[in-house]
A and B are shown apart, each in its own frame.
Chain A
Amino acid sequence: MLAQLDATPVETPEIVWAGLLPLLILSAGALLLVMLRSVVKRLPADVEPHLITAIGPITVLGMWFAAGLAGTDVPLAGLRDDMGEPAFYIGLALVMVLAGTLVRTMEIGLDAAITVGLGLSAFAATWGIWDDRWQVTGPFNAIGDQFAVDGFALLFAGVLAASVVLVALLLDGYLRRESLDGPEMYVLMLLSAAGGIVMTGANDLIVIFLGIETLSIAVYVMAAMHNRRTESQEAGLKYFVLGAFASAFLLYGIAFTYGATGSTNLVDIQIFLSSGQLVDNGLLMAAFGLLLVGFGFKIAAAPFHAWTPDVYQGAPTPVVAFMASAVKAAGFAALLRVFMLGFFSHVDDWRPAIGALAVLTLIVGSVMAIVQSDVKRMLAYSSISHAGFILVGVHAASLAGINSVAFYAVAYTFLVIGSFGVLTVVSGVGDRATSLDDLNGMAKRRPVLAFMFTVFLLAQAGVPLTAGFVAKFEVINAAVDSEFYWLAIVAMLTAVVSAFLYLRIVLSMYLGTADGDAADLGDPIPKAAGLAIGIAFAVTVGFGILPGPLSDLASDALPALIGAG
């Protein structure tokens, strides 16, 4: 009997390595980084700066390779195209020199430089897959029928890679200021982003769960990383306990789904549900509920938001930027994938739940924010209300809805990294100065930073000519298109309520006068953090004034389910 078993060969899944390139770059990069940094602890002082400078050109090469590898099945075919032209080499050399100079002027640390390089390479790989493979052949499965590569997954993978780059730039100065140098934070962030990419493309509930856990566990540790701040410890613990709780819910939901449909694979689930063979509707409804609870925790939707203010307040500010951008984006990608693809035939069953969640989240996020006096807490609540807005887009359950979610996620990523980036810079050693009063008179001390923060806040409020407005516009468009006018109205009214919160912050920056002992005495802004904030600002305003390209991108980025056969 046993011998018989041995004889059966195990079916190994067909793997399209190129489709996994962004994931591989981030995860393998993280492992290599931790290995290198634990073997070589300290570099000689005369080597390190040159090594860091060298990372610039290496990154350029890495991006070129990644994009070329990702494009086609024939290894390096994309590269060979470029290689034909001599002009290419001149251009490449120029860009490499420029990159080196940029890295040098940024005065960035080794770990951050490597992380940025990895993030950019992953971004380039995403780009390569998008342009040369997905646009050409359409969506495909990368590992058996477990992991899909489609426009939607690629867009979110790009978002994750971009947030890794920006947060790494923020972390560099922050960790040095807080004397927390070391590769750990970067490694965890890379791993977490890799988990996020798994979530965006997962075609199976179990794979989604794996992704969520990889993403979350790394972030729990990141939240608690500031080991001299008790708030940070508290945040990490709280996030961990509640997150584990949520994971249990999610797993339970997966089990129920399996019970109801006989599979955890989204393709099978979809086929099963749309064929009308479902016996026990109650089981499926329970599964919807449990899955929503699980996802609700990750995206901080009310009533599962209670951890958000405490964790956002306690965790190191750049980590918060990562949590609010990447973690949330990945959570929404997975949520949308599961419900819009797997459960679409039962849209009438899950839609009311999402609608209720959306309304509650919008109201809690905007109303509770008003009474806060700590800016990080305020932004925590505002991130809750943004989750509500995105849920409105999910609730539309249409193509326009998916587009709006994609657009919102991209726009919000840059907005929120910009906002928390500014807070990172101004909050002073130990993240102490984050109360509203600490921002008093900031416009006088740091006019440019205050102006950028104002733009980020107004963008979050949905003022036109910022990406935040177009994002809200698209969501409302989706809601109206599905004829849910009431939801659109609720969303807009709560947006006005949250506008009050953003105005409070702006007022204290421009009208308040600083006390003598205001913590922020105008220490120089770390150049790398300045670069990150500047990029976020440029994207926010750029896509606000000319949203066309991003809108096209978002409307191309549709999720797809491909069966195994």
Chain B
Amino acid sequence: MSDYLRSYLTVGIFGLVGVALVGVFLGLGRILRPDHPNLAKNEAYESGVEPTGDMWSQANIRYYVFALLFVMFDVEAVFIFPWAARLEAYEVFGLIEMAIFIFILLLGLIYAWRKGVLKWV
């Protein structure tokens, strides 16, 4: 077996162990816990908002803005993680690049904040 495939073997074993572990814990819980089902307990969100209703229900427009801002910073994280892993190789250049990147994103946040987007009226 080549080195190349052997590294995938590591991945495979790792995956199998993970699946097995989850199976073991879930099975253990099923065996151990008491089981008294009722209607309220079967709701998808036991103590949340009623999740069913009219298709055309309107969501508050503000959710979208928050969602957008969330996505923005979520994506930012996607870029930052690999960068963080290789920071040493990039040296100062990388640091400045990321500073500029975050600065631009931050600018967006400041703009949104000053526009009053973050205020829940």
Instruction: List A residues at the B interface (Cβ < 8 Å).
Output: 1, 6, 8-10, 12, 31, 34-35, 38-39, 41
Instruction: List B residues at the A interface (Cβ < 8 Å).
Output: 7, 86, 88-91, 93-94, 103-104, 107, 110-111, 113-115
Number of A-B contacts (CB under 8 A): 30
Q: Which residue of A lies closest to B113 (CB)?
A: A38
Query: Bound state CA distance, A39 and B94, in angstroms?
Result: 28
Q: Which residue of B lies closest to A32 (CB)?
A: B107
Contact across chains for B111 and A38 when beta carbons are under 8 A apart: yes
Give every chain A residue within 8 A of B103 (Cβ-Cβ): 31
Give every chain B residue within 8 A of A8 (Cβ-Cβ): 89
Contact across chains for A10 and B111 when beta carbons are under 8 A apart: no
Contact across chains for A9 and B110 when beta carbons are under 8 A apart: no
Give every chain B residue within 8 A of A35 (Cβ-Cβ): 107, 110-111
12 other A-B residue contacts (CB within 8 Å) besides A10-B89, A12-B93, A38-B110: A6-B88, A6-B89, A8-B89, A10-B90, A12-B90, A31-B107, A35-B110, A38-B107, A38-B111, A38-B115, A39-B114, A41-B114
Give every chain B residue within 8 A of A41 (Cβ-Cβ): 114
30 pairs across A/B with beta carbons < 8 Å?
Answer: A1-B7, A6-B86, A6-B88, A6-B89, A8-B89, A9-B89, A9-B91, A10-B86, A10-B89, A10-B90, A10-B94, A12-B90, A12-B93, A31-B103, A31-B104, A31-B107, A34-B107, A34-B111, A35-B107, A35-B110, A35-B111, A38-B107, A38-B110, A38-B111, A38-B113, A38-B114, A38-B115, A39-B110, A39-B114, A41-B114
Min CB distance B102 to A, Å, is 13
Query: Bound state CA distance, A39 and B109, in angstroms?
Result: 11
Query: Bound state CA distance, A35 and B110, in angstroms?
Result: 7
Give every chain B residue within 8 A of A12 (Cβ-Cβ): 90, 93
Give every chain A residue within 8 A of B104 (Cβ-Cβ): 31
Query: Bound state CA distance, A6 and B82, in angstroms?
Result: 12
Query: Bound state CA distance, A38 and B88, in angstroms?
Result: 35
Most chain B CB within a 10 A radius of its CB, from A1, A10, A41: A10
Give every chain A residue within 8 A of B113 (Cβ-Cβ): 38
Among all A-B residue pairs, the 5 with the closest Cβ atoms? A38-B114, A38-B111, A10-B89, A12-B93, A38-B110
Most chain A CB within a 10 A radius of its CB, from B93, B104, B110, B111: B111
